[in-house]
């Protein structure tokens, strides 16, 4: 049966690069995991094995490290833009470059008063601890004319210990869940947001400020929404971002409901007044949705693991 080649790409995945910027005695860290995927005129390498149009994946790896030195890493987005532009404009067979980046945050260790006599100020400025709150993400795609930048985060665990209810739902003969008028609402946020910056003629967003403010609005919406469902909270989180960040047109969330069930303490002669819970890790409800600026088209994949 005749066959033809379909969509394809190649590159070097998970290039771990740590860039330390030394500002005198004060050091700053950018810790990235960079994956490069290139596509274009690559038919012959598949059909005949000719590598005439193939930039080695080892070269893409070396480029990541060289660019960290040559261009620095101002932000994950800016670094990805430098890489994508380089691959598309420097190699004629390459038509599209997709750069995916995970960023791991570090925070400075502050000397305690008790130890200040032993730890000098200069030393404190280059001691860090990995933040465990979330992993920052970005994907940059460039085809030589237009950019698509989608950023986000994963593994951000949040909880409201009250101001959440769940009742009035459909019940059938298999329903055993009791209605809740005061419950814990917890989730592990996986979110992506798409910027409306698409070409070099537009003003480029301030990527660092945008991430900081987007995360802030997301968390404030989670904390301030009196929730009757996780779906309602999700929508408020996305709407708060869209309404406050003009550079973002689309937000997609995947929120696993980290269930906390009241423990039955009656067998022990104890009353559980919304105090003791069993934290169940599985199975879990999974709530997913996209929130769009009015008039915009959804482009972020439904399955966020493919981004």
pLDDT single digits (tens) 50-65: 999 999 999 999 999 9
Structure-token pair, residue 257: 């409901």
* pLDDT score, position 220: 93
DSSP 147-189: EEEEEEEEEEEEEESSSB-B-S----TT--PPPBSS--EEEEE
How far is C-alpha 292 from the chain's CA centre? 18
Positions in the chain whose pLDDT score sits under 70 = 1, 111-127, 129
User: Is 152-307 the same fold as 8-145?
Assistant: yes
CA neighbor of 20 nearest in space, from 99, 125, 95: 125
Q: What is the pLDDT of residues 203-235, one digit of tens each?
A: 999 999 999 999 999 999 999 999 999 999 999
Superfamily of domain 152-307: Urate Oxidase; (3.10.270.10)
* pLDDT score, position 273: 86
User: Is 257 marked as binding a ligand?
Assistant: yes
* pLDDT score, position 111: 59
* pLDDT score, position 286: 96
* Angstrom distance (rounded) from CA 64 to CA 153: 22
* pLDDT score, position 118: 42
The domain ranges of the chain are: 8-145, 152-307
Q: Are 138 and 149 in contact (CB under 8 A)?
A: yes
User: Is 231 marked as binding a ligand?
Assistant: yes
Give the list of residues 6+ apart from residue 74 with CB closer than 8 angstroms, or none.
207, 208
* pLDDT score, position 37: 97
Looking at domain 8-145, its CATH architecture is Roll (3.10)
* pLDDT score, position 24: 84
Residues designated catalytic: 12, 57, 259
User: Is 202 marked as binding a ligand?
Assistant: no
* pLDDT score, position 1: 55
* Angstrom distance (rounded) from CA 103 to CA 289: 24
User: Is 166 marked as binding a ligand?
Assistant: yes
């Amino acid at each position: 049966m005749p066959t033809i080649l379909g969509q394809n790409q190649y590159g070097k995945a998970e290039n771990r690069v740590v860039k330390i910027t030394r500002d005198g005695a004060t050091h700053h860290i950018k810790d990235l995991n960079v994956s490069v995927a290139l596509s274009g005129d690559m038919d012959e390498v598949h059909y005949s094995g000719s590598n005439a149009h193939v930039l080695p994946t080892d070269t893409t790896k070396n480029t990541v490290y060289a660019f960290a030195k040559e261009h620095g890493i101002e932000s994950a987005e800016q670094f990805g833009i430098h890489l994508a532009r380089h691959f598309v404009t420097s190699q004629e067979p390459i038509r599209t470059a997709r750069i995916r980046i995970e960023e791991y945050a570090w925070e400075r260790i502050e000397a305690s008063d008790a130890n200040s006599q032993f730890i000098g100020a200069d030393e404190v400025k280059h001691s860090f601890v990995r933040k465990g709150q979330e992993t920052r993400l970005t994907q940059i795609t460039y085809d030589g004319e237009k950019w698509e930048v989608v950023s986000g985060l994963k593994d951000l665990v949040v909880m409201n210990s009250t101001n959440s209810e769940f009742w009035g739902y459909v019940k059938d003969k298999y329903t055993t869940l009791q209605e809740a008028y005061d419950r814990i609402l917890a989730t592990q946020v996986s979110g992506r947001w798409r910027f409306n910056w698409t070409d070099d003629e537009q003003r480029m967003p301030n990527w660092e400020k945008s991430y900081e403010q987007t995360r802030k609005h997301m968390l404030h919406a989670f904390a301030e929404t009196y929730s009757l469902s996780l779906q309602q909270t999700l929508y408020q989180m996305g709407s708060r971002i869209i309404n406050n960040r003009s550079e973002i047109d689309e937000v997609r969330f995947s929120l696993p409901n980290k269930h906390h069930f009241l423990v039955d303490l009656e067998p022990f002669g104890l009353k559980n007044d919304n105090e003791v819970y069993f934290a169940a890790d599985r199975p879990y409800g999974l709530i997913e949705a996209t929130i769009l600026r009015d008039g915009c088209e959804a482009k972020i994949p439904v399955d966020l693991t493919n981004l």
